[in-house]
Structure 1
């Protein structure tokens, strides 16, 4: 339990810093003279550079455990934010965002793999994944508004410096606190899995079509994160307003993440139900004059609180708990691809077609394309 609490804390710090930047990156890029298409590429390149980091993290976590990757990711991301505070041109911001995408790609697979190794019981694993979601959501409830307030109070440079030092401090703390029997057990399991793995099957028991789930959802989220800050023109005056929108989104997620009874339901059905609700929310965003945006964003957050723990639990169930570093690495790769494509396409279509309607189409196609799954047998509860 101490390991889980420690991981939740470090993920909280990382997610807090990440979400604090959402409402301010677009206005910051605009202040540097960046065009909407360039901003789309800036947001997309962050996701694209996740790919090599995810590939390295998946194999590395299976062989060496999670600790070193958590520490590296936090400290390196903090250093990049310190450099970002001194950016003076759009291309410099693009370069730093691409590097940031690479180093932060190690964090999520490492933390999820260590969390999954803490229990062999499917229900307990689902709760651990939900805890990850709750941590993510709690960090994102206040962080967008806090980031926007800091910029309004102290400016972009001091805000980035503050967020950078917070990440570096968290990384140093992780270096000395992530330890114990659970860490050693993960190392033993990871090495055993790596030694016995069938090289001809990269992800045993996980059909690649299931990765359409995180791919499609991340694509829609990339569109949202690009389009929402531009709702008020992407100007500095609208930063605080945008931060409140993101906080409303996170509050909705917190509601469904707190419904622990949901984890006794099929993760496959939970994922599909959440995606359907998310698609309807994007359709609602296409007609803001009929449905208030705060209402749509709150319900959209509720759908996210259903989707992400369900997808993680589904992958644990289908994979049988083996080679979790690689499983979550490929999940992160799928999300990175979606997050890369989403804002780039939105940036190209922003002036001629509603990106929100495009997200609705993507999610509905995902529901149609995903085949039904057979019910997996429950894992036995270990007796200590």
Structure 2
């Protein structure tokens, strides 16, 4: 069952990453202005926040089974709606409902994983799930760009929709025996999230992790272009970060996440990511850029399991769904905030990396202060 949940996590994030390189050109082909094209890309993440929160609430109320199956089936169906988009405004509507439906799946899937994980191995479990997210981040953009260029964007989305529909049908039968009884879920749903310091650190970790990702996705192609390197180099650099992260997730070093307190590995991950962004702003030679992205991937790999472990340690099963809903809402908010913040300040790539790296190191200082108190 756990492996099947990992497959669901992979294809849910595959849906997200496969659309990244193709959505803005598709919006432009439908007559969108640069503003509307950017809005079409961001609309998914904005409605995703709503879906994440709703998923958390109903995962505790009805159990993660119902919301997970609903998310998979509705996302799969809505992916076929891209073929009906005939202008920028109809595309915005499709993007909104797609992001809303997709937001239901991830918190429910991770609630399943957390509730079934051995308490002593929750760090390693989070690392393995992170590896599946990393694989989706590497495979998704390349596959999406290649398949859409040979067919069309609606056909690419329809293919992903078919895969999600198939997973939803399998989940309906395979996970049915695992669902929480309605009586138990109703009793547990009366409990609200019990806020504490560990939970707040986990949420802030999720936000700043994806804030830096938003800056990286926005600024790295601009830096590569400014240095007159081939445009595909930005994709290779992002793949380098993904590969180094996956190696940490899957190699025996992942045992460290169960042996060392998650707050310590979180601080280490934040520090390495912040330092690597400062380095990225200072280097221009190709080998150093690849080495810096490898370092960033190591920091990412330490941070992702740490914030998951911290969330598990700071919650109980009867409100963990709500906690994961807020957690992934902060993920989506971080992506939007990173690119929007640096874009609004009109920073160049190197300035954007320095600002993002500085914010990560400030976050480390605040977490250390909270830890001492």
Q: TM over 0.5, yes or no?
A: yes
| 1:356 positional shift | 2.4
Structure with higher RCO (Cα < 8 A, 6+ apart): 1
What pairs up with 1:169-188 in 2 under 5 angstroms?
169-180=166-177, 182-184=178-180
**1:145 and 2:142 equivalent?**
yes
Among candidates 255, 260, 280, match of residue 261 of structure 1: 255
Looking at structure 2, the residues matched to 347 and 340 of structure 1 have their Cα atoms a distance apart, in angstroms, of 11
Question: Which of 270, 273, 284 does residue 289 from structure 1 map onto?
Answer: 284
Query: What is the count of residue pairs matched by the alignment?
Result: 363
Partner of 1:55: 53
Measure, in 2, the Cα distance between the counterparts of 1:357 and 1:37: 26
Instruction: Kindly state the Cα deviation for residue 7 of structure 1 after the two structures are TM-superposed.
Output: 0.6
Cα distance in 1 for residues equivalent to 2:341 and 2:302: 26
Assess, with a 3 A threshold, how the Cα gap between structure 1 residues 203 and 46 changes in structure 2: closer, same or farther.
Answer: farther
Cα deviation, 1:173-221, whole Å, max 9, x if unaligned, reads: 22222133x4348x676444334x3x5xx32445664222111112111
Q: Structure 1, residues 49-99: CA drift from partner, whole Å, max 9, x if none?
A: 223222221221112111221122222222332222454444443332222
Partner of 2:179: helix, strand, or coil? helix
- 1:326-356 CA-partner distances (Å, limit 9, x unpaired): 1111211222221221222233345656332
Q: List alignment gaps of at least 5 residues for structure 2.
A: none
Matches within 5 A, 1:1-384: 3-32=1-30, 38-119=36-117, 121-180=118-177, 182-184=178-180, 190-195=185-190, 197=191, 202-206=193-197, 209-210=200-201, 211-230=203-222, 242-258=234-250, 259-263=253-257, 264-290=259-285, 292-350=288-346, 354-370=351-367, 371-373=369-371
- Is the CA contact (8 Å cut-off) linking 2:214 and 2:339 kept in structure 1? yes
Conserved 8 A contact 2:32-2:88: yes
Equivalent residue of 2:308, what SS? helix
* 8 A contact 1:42–1:94 mirrored in 2: yes
Secondary structure at the counterpart of residue 251 of structure 1: helix
Larger fraction in helix: 2
The answer to whether the 8 A contact 2:12-2:106 is kept is no
Are 1:39 and 1:347, in contact at CA under 8 Å, matched by a contact in 2?
no
Distance 1:143 1:194 in 2: 35
Between 34-43 and 220-229, report the one with greater CA deviation: 34-43
Structural RMSD (CA): 3.0
- Residues 226/33 of structure 1: CA separation in 2 closer, same or farther (3 Å cut): farther
Alpha-carbon separation, structure 2, partners of 1:362 and 1:64:
38
Deviates more, 1:136-145 or 1:289-298: 289-298
1:135-174 per-residue CA deviation (whole Å, 9 max, x = no partner) reads 2122323222222221333343332222222222222222
Mean Cα displacement is larger for which, 347-356 or 320-329?
Answer: 347-356
Return the TM-score normalized by structure 2.
0.85
Report deviation, 1:111: 1.0
Q: Is the 8 A contact 2:199 2:311 kept in 1?
A: no
Instruction: Find the counterpart in structure 2 of residue 379 from structure 1.
Output: none
Task: Decide whether aligned partners of structure 1 residues 124 and 221 sit closer, same or farther in structure 2, where only a CA change above 3 A counts.
Answer: same
357-366 or 273-282, larger mean C-alpha shift? 357-366
Q: What is the alpha-carbon distance in structure 2 between the residues aligned to residue 36 and residue 100 of structure 1? A: 21
User: Would you say the 8 A contact 2:198–2:311 is kept in 1?
Assistant: no
Distance in 1 of aligned mates of 2:34 and 2:212: 18
Per the alignment, residue 381 of structure 1 pairs with: none
Give yes or no for contact 1:24–1:151 (8 Å, CA) kept in 2: yes
In structure 2, how many angstroms separate the alpha carbons of the residues matched to 1:33 and 1:340?
A: 23
